[in-house]
Amino acid sequence: MREAITLPLGEEYHLRRGKDRIRYAGMPSDTVYSIVQRKRSGYQGFAWNLFFPIKKQSMAIDGVSIFVENVTPEEIRFRIQ
């Protein structure tokens, strides 16, 4: 696994070249957190929210495996696998 990445609320991270960007969108409830997945093509792009239960630690976004170590209303810490 790579080093831990910490994203404060509203900050963005580029998963890797040729892949999407993600942004931490916070916790709409005590048991759910949200990550925004953003695609961009030229000057246009689109994005959508992904919602996960707080206990969900492993996921794949745009084919990139992510392991969430910790999530709070203010930030998320994860590793790219």
Query: Which residue ranges make up each domain of the chain?
Result: 5-80
What is the tens place of the pLDDT at every residue in 3-56?
A: 899 999 999 999 998 899 999 999 999 999 999 999 976 678 899 999 999 999
Nearest to 22 by CA among 9, 41, 31: 9
Q: Residue 28 corresponds to which tokens in the numbers above?
A: 């709409």
Q: What is the arrangement of strands in the sheet containing 44-53, beginning at the earlier edge strand?
A: 12-14, 21-24, 32-41, 44-53
- This prediction has a pTM of 0.89
Q: Average pLDDT of 56-78? A: 96
Q: Is the pLDDT of residue 1 over 70?
A: no
